Structure 1
Amino acid sequence: KARAPKDTNPKKFKKKTSVLVTDKIEYVDYKDVNLLSRFVSDRSKIRNRRVSGNTVQQQRDIANAIKNSREMALLPYTKRVSNTRPGRPSRDGGDRGPRRDAAAVAEGATEEIAEDIDGDDNDDTTETEA
């Protein structure tokens, strides 16, 4: 099946212009924290070219400047987000009930193994009976 030509795409979109172009910034300085923070998400991730509207060269310069400013402790590597999303159930095990502690689980497993070896429910017998 042949594709339709690109001109007939009904979804026309305007390409996003970069902040660097609109503010007429020629050089991205790693010390300009206000500018660099525009290209960083709320969790301190560097935003995509698609989101920011940068060219390849601009994105490379921005990424290097952000990395340098992080190294110089001007920008944080991460920001802690402590709140939980609303409407999400808590992770307390749900309807499975409370967890068993590790000692009880290990003890139960050794009893089952002893029953399989001996063939009865008595754990007191040893294999020295010949």
Structure 2
Amino acid sequence: MTRPSNLLCSAYIGLFLWLLYCAVQSARHGAWWATVVFVVGTCLAMVAFLREDQLDDLLRREAVRAEREARPVLTPDETADGVVAVALAGECCDRWWTSAGADHDPTCRRQTPESSAA
């Protein structure tokens, strides 16, 4: 949820609890007309909370959908070209490429010196 949405939901929960408290106090003191008004207000606060939560979910889903639509759709050939380009970018020498990474050319800068330590 976004910050304004969190603030609104918190305010709706606070309003719900306050109106519920007022409804209980009105019922205890015999003011039935006020109790009905507070119960209706409590229901409206709950509907507002649920509506805000639903609106936030809809906005998030729409943002994800718009982001997905903005991405370019690659054909299989373009995808394969990208994979090959990444693999070739990691190539350091011809011997490394043909030996599947087992050996390097003597002039290759990625060649590790062979150690005589056992």
Report if TM-score (shorter chain) is over 0.5: no
| TM-score, with structure 1 as normaliser | 0.25
With structure 2 as the length reference, what TM-score do the two structures score? Answer: 0.26
Higher share in helix: 2
